Chains A and B, each alone.
Chain A
Amino acid sequence: AQKVTQAQTEISVVEKEDVTLDCVYETRDTTYYLFWYKQPPSGELVFLIRRNSFDEQNEISGRYSWNFQKSTSSFNFTITASQVVDSAVYFCALPLGATNKLIFGTGTLLAVQP
């Protein structure tokens, strides 16, 4: 079965702390993409990154980094030196087999306190 698990429902940190959001997935596909989206309080889901299962190199974009490990079926997201503007719900997503649909985890609410 295809499944995305985000076990952390809510995380609260103080500004400038580092924080890691976990994503574990199950898929029967041998090649696939994984995605992270950010949903700020305004509501719109904003695309952050996609990752191809062929490429297990870590990805870094400014304060954001992603650690993809196919051996453990995980695609974790780390924010370094968190800021209040990082407060949002973060979703991990996986394509649903051969369909043109994504399945989402339940999301992790990140609250960054000043």
Chain B
Amino acid sequence: DGGITQSPKYLFRKEGQNVTLSCEQNLNHDAMYWYRQDPGQGLRLIYYSQIVNDFQKGDIAEGYSVSREKKESFPLTVTSAQKNPTAFYLCASSPQGGARSYGYTFGSGTRLTVV
């Protein structure tokens, strides 16, 4: 079955470390997105990519970086510059131009904790 796979499910980071969250989809979707979820704050967009080798900053991109070298993959790196990285991270995808009509498909998320 097609879907989005996020790994790992739980991730622990020490202060000052960079960590990379994986997001892979086999839906043949062009667009991919990263959201951060904190309690009581809904979903906030970090980065998004509409096509391979291109991506744009979302509302809270500081301290994060992404790459989009393959259509299927959109990894998110949480750098040491991100001051408060503890959160739940969700990856999503949609067909090109399709989010307006069909919404997103989401992965199951990665819970990142700074220790």
Q: How distant is the Cα of A47 from the Cα of B96 in the complex, in angstroms?
A: 18
Q: Check A101 for interface membership: any CB of B closer than 8 A.
A: yes
- Interface size class, chain A: 20 to 34
Q: Which 9 A-B pairs have the closest CB atoms?
A: A106-B42, A43-B109, A95-B100, A44-B108, A45-B106, A100-B99, A104-B43, A35-B103, A104-B42
Cβ–Cβ contact A33 & B108, under 8 A? no
- Interface size class, chain B: 20 to 34
List residues 39-98 of chain B with CB under 8 A from any CB of chain A.
40-43, 45, 48, 50, 88, 90, 92, 94, 96-98
Q: How distant is the Cα of A98 from the Cα of B88 in the complex, in angstroms?
A: 28
Q: How distant is the Cα of A35 from the Cα of B43 in the complex, in angstroms?
A: 14
Of chain B, the residue at the smallest CB distance from A4 is B42
A-B contact pairs, 30 of them (CB 8 A): A33-B101, A33-B103, A35-B103, A37-B106, A42-B108, A43-B88, A43-B108, A43-B109, A44-B107, A44-B108, A45-B90, A45-B104, A45-B106, A47-B103, A47-B104, A50-B101, A91-B42, A91-B43, A95-B100, A100-B94, A100-B98, A100-B100, A101-B48, A101-B99, A102-B103, A104-B43, A105-B42, A106-B40, A106-B42, A107-B42
